[in-house]
Amino acid sequence: MSVLRVRFAPSPTGYLHIGGARTALFNYLLARKEGGTFVLRIEDTDVERSTHESVDAILQAMTWLGLDYDEGPYYQSQRFDIYRQKVRQLLDSGQAYRCYCSAEELEAKRERAMQEGGKPRYDGTCRDCSDEPDGRPFVVRFKSPMEGRTSFVDRIKGEISFDNTELDDLIIQRSDGTPTYNFVVVIDDAEMAISLIIRGDDHINNTPRQIPIYRALGYPVPEFAHVPMILGADKKRLSKRHGATSVMAYREMGYLPEAMVNYLVRLGWSHGDEEIFSMDELIEKFSLDNVGRSAGVFNPDKLLWLNEHYIKTGDPQRLGALLAGFLAGEGVDVSAGPPLEAVVKSLQDRAKTLLEMRDGALFYYREPADYDPVAVEKFLTADKRDILEKLVGALAGLDDFGVDSIEAAFKQVLEQTGLKLGKVGPTVRVALTGGTVSPGIFDVIAVLGRERVIDRLEKAIDHLGR
C-alpha cells in the first residue's frame, strides 16, 4: 500500500480564506492520521497578482492554526523550466499544438458559437494545421479527447463523469510563454507524487481537463476528493459581505486557533453529536467518509460559542501571554500591573474573545482617573466616604490578602455600619475600576493587590472630600 501524500496549494494573491484554511485542515488531519506527508505548495504563476505579503500571510495563518507541513513551501514560479520541458514533450508527441488564432478571431468564434446555440468553446482551427507562421504570436493548446467520457470516483461525492465533447482544447502555455493553472497543477502534483488531491468542489470542472494531461504525460492519475464550498447565511458563497473571511482577521478579533480549527472541521465533517475536539482527537477520528456532500453554512455565533468555551477552559498562563499582546496594543505595560495569570482567571468566565478580555482587564493596569460620571452620581456619593475609610483600615490590617480574608474584612465593616454588601459593593467597584462592570469585587481586590487597592480607595476618598 502506497504512503499517502496530500498537498495544500494556495495562490498568494491575498489572505488565507476561511475556505482555504478548511481545505488545508482536512489535508493535514488525513496526513497525520494515516502517517502520510503533508506538502505546502505556493501557486504563484500569476506574477502580477502574487505578492510576498500574501505568501507571508498564508504562512502565518498556517502557523497560527498549527498546520505544520512536512515539505515545502514549494513555489511554482521557481519551476518554469519543468513546465516548459513538459510543453515540449507534448508538442513533440503530437498531443499539443501551437494555436495562432488572434484574440479578435477567438472572440468572433465565441460569438458565432453562442449565436448558433452552442457553448463559447474553441473550434480546433489550428489543431491539425502544419503551418507555423514566422514571428506570429501563438499559444500552446492541449489536444483534449474528442470522444467518450472522462470519469473518476470522488472520495466525497462518488462517481463523476463528463462527456469529452463538452471540453475544448485547453491552453497550456500563453503567448508570453507562461504556463496555465490546469497544466502546471498536473505537473506539480505528479512530480511531487501527490496520491490524493483534497480541494474545494469549485475545482470539479477542472478535473476532466486535468486527467487527460496526466495520461498524455504518462503520469498515474491520483485520487480526488472535492470538499463542498462554504456559504454565508444567505446561502451564497462566503464573501466579505458576510463579515470577515480572513483567518488572521479572527486572530485580531481575539479568537483562539483551537476554536477556529474546531469550528472549521465541523463545517462539513461530523462525528456523531460531538461538537468539541482537541487536535489530537481530530487526528484520531477524522475521515473523508464523514465529510458531507452539501455546502456548509458559516455561522459566526457557533464560532463565538466555541471560542468562549476554549477561553473558559484554557490554560491561564497561555491566555495571559496572548492577552499581553492585546494589552500592548493599547499601550499597557503589563509588568507594571498585577500578574497576568491572576487577571485571566478573574475574567475567563466573562469573556468570549481575547478582545473582550482585554477591555475587561484594562482597569487592572490603569487607574480610574476619569470615573464614569453616571456611576459616580449613583454610587460614589459623599455618604459613602465613611465606609470607604473603614474598608481601607480593615484591608490594610490583613495578614493574608486572599479572597477569603478580604470577604471577612468586608463582613466586619458591614456589621459595624449596618449596611448590606449590595449597597457597598458598587461604590467600591467604582472606586477601584472607574465603572460598574467587573468581576466579583473580592476577586478584583485580590488580583489588584493590597497596595493598589488602598491607593485607589484613598484617591476615591479624596475625590469625595473635594
- 236 is a catalytic site residue: no
- HSE, side-chain direction, 13 A CA sphere, residue 374: 3
> Which residue in the list 240, 302, 312, 384 is annotated as catalytic?
240
- 3-state DSSP assignment of residue 226: strand
Cell reading at 304 = 463565538
Query: What is the predicted pLDDT for the residue at 372?
Result: 84
Per residue in 146-195, pLDDT (tens digit) is 999 999 999 999 999 999 998 999 999 999 999 999 999 999 999 999 99
Query: What residues contact residue 464 under an 8 Å CB cut-off, 6+ apart?
Result: 380, 381, 382, 384, 385, 388
**Rounded alpha-carbon distances, angstroms, from residue 233 to 48, 262, 280:** 33, 19, 30
**Fold annotation for 5-77+230-304:** Rossmann fold (3.40.50)
The CA distance from 41 to 49, in Å, is 17
**Rounded alpha-carbon distances, angstroms, from residue 184 to 59, 85, 173, 192, 227:** 22, 11, 10, 12, 21
Residue for grid cell 513546465: 83
Cβ atoms 436, 465 nearer than 8 A: no
Query: What is the predicted pLDDT for the residue at 437?
Result: 92
Ranges under pLDDT 50 in the chain? none
Query: What residues contact residue 397 under an 8 Å CB cut-off, 6+ apart?
Result: 409
Query: What is the predicted pLDDT for the residue at 1?
Result: 55
Query: What is the predicted pLDDT for the residue at 396?
Result: 95
Residue for grid cell 480607595: 457
Query: What is the predicted pLDDT for the residue at 446?
Result: 97
Cβ atoms 243, 300 nearer than 8 A: yes
Closest CA to 444 of 330, 327, 386, 365: 365
Pairing of strands 139-142, 171-173: antiparallel
Query: What is the predicted pLDDT for the residue at 307?
Result: 98
Q: From 3.20.20.60, 3.40.50.11540, 3.40.50.620, 1.10.10.60, which CATH number describes the 79-227 domain?
A: 3.40.50.620
Query: What is the predicted pLDDT for the residue at 26?
Result: 98
Amino acid at 292: G
Peptide bond before 73: cis, by omega within 30 degrees of 0? yes
Q: From 3.80.10.10, 1.10.10.350, 1.10.3720.10, 3.30.980.10, which CATH number describes the 373-465 domain?
A: 1.10.10.350
